[in-house]
Amino acid sequence: MNIFSAIIAFENIHEVRRLCHWGPIIALTVIAVCSSMAILDSIIWYWPLDTTGGSVNFIMLINWTVLILYNYFNAMFVGPGYIPLGWKPENQQDTMYLQFCRVCQGYKAPRSHHCRKCNRCVMKMDHHCPWINNCCGHFNHAYFTSFLLLAPLGCIHAAFIFVMTMYTQLYDRISFGWSSVRIDMSAARRVHNPIMPFSLAAFAATLFALGLALGTTIAVGMLFFIQMKVIVRNKTSIEAWIEEKAKDRIQYYQTGEEFIFPYDLGSCWENVKQVFTWSGSPEGDGIEWPVNEKCHQHTLTIEQLKQKADKRERSVQYRVVEDYNGACCPLRKGLNTFIRSPCTEEPRIKLFKGETILATRGTKWWMYGDKVLDEEQTKAGVRVRGWFPRRCVEKCHYDSANNSTVSEEKKDK
């Protein structure tokens, strides 16, 4: 009854809607299939009630499932933490070093970024993960990384159970020709006949679960190493990209600056402690951060402002000459445009003939940019940006994208 009351009193019950997305549906389906098949096969292969080894194997399997689900749901529902709407720094002079978000109607704190999917400014945003249908950021980074570690470990254990179940059940039925390969299964075979027959359907299900377990081990294991690389350097994926662009900017303009990433504390252990703590809660409030002694709180935000200014300077103005309906892979825009659509979750934008676009990057067949909106939309914080086919626009040779009006429109949220 107490558990039921706790569920009813859950303040963020609306967050349950995060489960209604293809990412969590696929992730939880894989967890359910691998876990349930591993439990059933462990009963067939190594009956847990008659031997110590079987009991340990079964308990470990249950523990993997519980720990995986615990960290997965915490990563999803605890969330990354959001900058309060309308936030301003205590020292008003610091606003000159910060970007203003027109959607949240407040300033972006250091290390925060606005997420289009969450529609909020996220603390220490690393990326928006479709598998948890939430951002990975300040408060859930440890849970997310723990999930990435535990999922492959649990899948390795499950894969071992699948292999041994098929081996023990099929060895006496099929001659493999492995006269020199024989595994001692005397401990597992002391049990009575299995309570469930290992039928053809059971074999097919076990083989399918084995494929899922091995695929998950490889894919999620790679993600774990990527996240540990981020944590050891105390540098999010977005910040790594900002640092790379800082070096390119300095080299391009030959400014002679030296950019030092401010949040690398010089020790892997100190960097790791910024995410993993004994209490389970990360250090800091998500607003102020410990920085390198050669830097200060706004070293990175100042660099971001320089890059935004450089981006506006380099943007090129295009005029739309052909309508585009915003399709991900448009069939009517040419075979190359269809085949070489950008592999990204970034949106496509609809285009109508006569509109103006400020393009900031692109490929041979696609471009990315912002629509030039009217003054009323700009003041309201409306921003339309995304990918569109290159063939739908032509360069405006009579105007420049860095005039005062456009510069105001390109002011970052």
Q: Could you please report the per-residue DSSP string of 108-170? A: PPTT-EEETTTTEEETT--EEETTTTEEE-TTTHHHHHHHHHHHHHHHHHHHHHHHHHHHHHH
108, part of any domain: no
What mean pLDDT do residues 47-69 have?
Answer: 90
Q: Is the domain of 62 the same as that of 157?
A: yes
pLDDT (tens digit, 9 = 90+) per residue, 305-347? 999 988 888 889 999 999 999 998 898 899 999 999 988 878 8
Cα 154 from Cα 168, distance rounded (Å): 21
Residue 25 lies in domain: 16-79+140-233
Half-sphere exposure of 91 (CA within 13 A, CB side): 8
Strand partners, 314: none
Q: Are residues 51 and 163 in the same domain?
A: yes
Q: Is residue 110 part of a domain?
A: no
Distance of alpha carbon 60 from alpha carbon 166, whole angstroms? 20
- The Cα–Cα gap between 306 and 366 comes to 26
Residue 134 lies in a domain: no
Of the three residues 233, 257, 277, the one that is the final residue of a domain is 233
CB contact at 8 A, 35 and 62: no
Residues 21, 50, single domain; the answer is yes
Residues 194 and 150 in one domain: yes
Which pLDDT does position 75 carry in this prediction? Answer: 95
- Single out the residue of 407, 369, 399, 408 nearest to residue 386, CA to CA: 369
Given 233, 264, 283, the domain boundary residue is: 233
Same-domain status, 276 and 324: no
- pLDDT score recorded for residue 87: 96
**Above 80 in pLDDT, residue 152?**
yes
Q: State the CATH number of the domain containing residue 397.
A: 2.30.30.40
Instruction: Identify the residue with better confidence: 58 or 344.
Output: 58
Dihedral sign of CA atoms 235, 241, 244, 249 in order:
negative
What single DSSP character describes residue 333? G
The end-to-end CA distance of the chain, in Å, is 47
List the catalytic residues.
129
Query: What pLDDT band is residue 44 in, cutting at 50, 70 and 90?
Result: confident
One domain, residues 72 and 153: yes
Asked whether residue 107 is assigned to any structural domain, the reply reads no
pLDDT surpassing 60 at residue 201: yes
Count the Cβ atoms, other than its own, within 10 Å of residue 38.
30
Average pLDDT on 57-79 reads 95
* Within-domain flag for 104: no
Q: Is 98 inside a domain boundary?
A: no
Helix (H, G, I), strand (E, B), or coil: what is residue 307? helix
Residue type, 247: K
Tokens in use for 165?
Answer: 């179940």
- 228 plus 255 within the same structural domain: no
- Closest by CA to 46, choosing from 242, 200, 194, 250, is 194
The confidence band for 174, taking pLDDT boundaries of 50, 70 and 90, is low
Q: Can you give the pLDDT at residue 346? A: 84
Residue 93 lies in a domain: no
261 shares its domain with 216 = no
Smallest CA-to-CA distance from 124 within 105, 143, 139 is with: 139
Residues 89-114: tens digit of each pLDDT: 999 999 999 999 988 999 999 999 99
Predicted local distance difference test score (pLDDT) of residue 192: 46
Of 233, 249, 280, the one marking the end of a domain is 233
Percent helix, strand and coil across the chain, each to the nearest 5: 50, 10, 40
Tell me the average pLDDT across 379-398: 86
181 and 46 in one domain?
yes
Name the residue type at position 70.
Y
CA distance 54 to 52: 5
Counting residues of the chain whose pLDDT is more than 90, the rounded percentage is 61
Distance CA 138, CA 274 (A): 9
Distance CA 145, CA 231 (A): 9
Q: How far apart are CA 391 and CA 318, in angstroms?
A: 11
Inform me whether the pLDDT recorded for 175 exceeds 70: no
The per-residue pLDDT of the chain, averaged, comes to: 86
Q: Using one digit for the tens of pLDDT, what is the confidence trace for 214-268?
A: 999 999 999 999 999 999 999 999 999 999 999 989 998 888 888 999 999 989 9
Give mean pLDDT, residues 105-128: 94
How many Å apart are CA 137 and CA 68, to the nearest integer? 19
Q: Structural domain tally of the chain?
A: 3
Quick check: 83 and 104 in contact, CB under 8 A? yes
Q: Give yes or no: residues 326 and 299 share one domain.
A: no
Question: Given the structure tokens 């993993």, which residue do they identify?
Answer: 276
Share of the chain above pLDDT 70, in %: 86
pLDDT above 50: residue 2: no
Q: Given this model, what pLDDT does residue 412 score?
A: 46
Amino acid at 322: E
Residue 195, pLDDT score = 58
Q: Please check the confidence at residue 188 and state whether its pLDDT lies above 70.
A: no
Same domain, 253 and 213: no
The answer to whether residue 1 is domain-embedded is: no
Same domain as 75, residue 21: yes
In the predicted structure, residue 410 carries a pLDDT above the cut 90: no
Name the pairing type of β-strands 316-320 and 393-395. antiparallel
**What backbone phi and psi angles, to 5 degrees, belong to 70?**
-60, -50
C-alpha span between 80 and 121 (Å, rounded): 10
Task: Output 409 or 42, whichever has higher pLDDT.
Answer: 42
Radius of gyration over every alpha carbon of the chain, rounded to an integer in angstroms: 27
Which comes out higher in pLDDT, residue 117 or 214? Answer: 214
Model confidence over 10-41: pLDDT tens digits? 455 667 889 999 999 999 999 999 999 999 98
Q: Please check whether residue 402 is in contact with residue 315, taking contact to mean a CB–CB distance below 8 angstroms.
A: yes
CA–CA separation, 156 vs 46, rounded Å? 17
Residue 310, classified by CB atoms within 10 Å of its CB into exposed (0-12), middle (13-18) or buried (19+), is middle
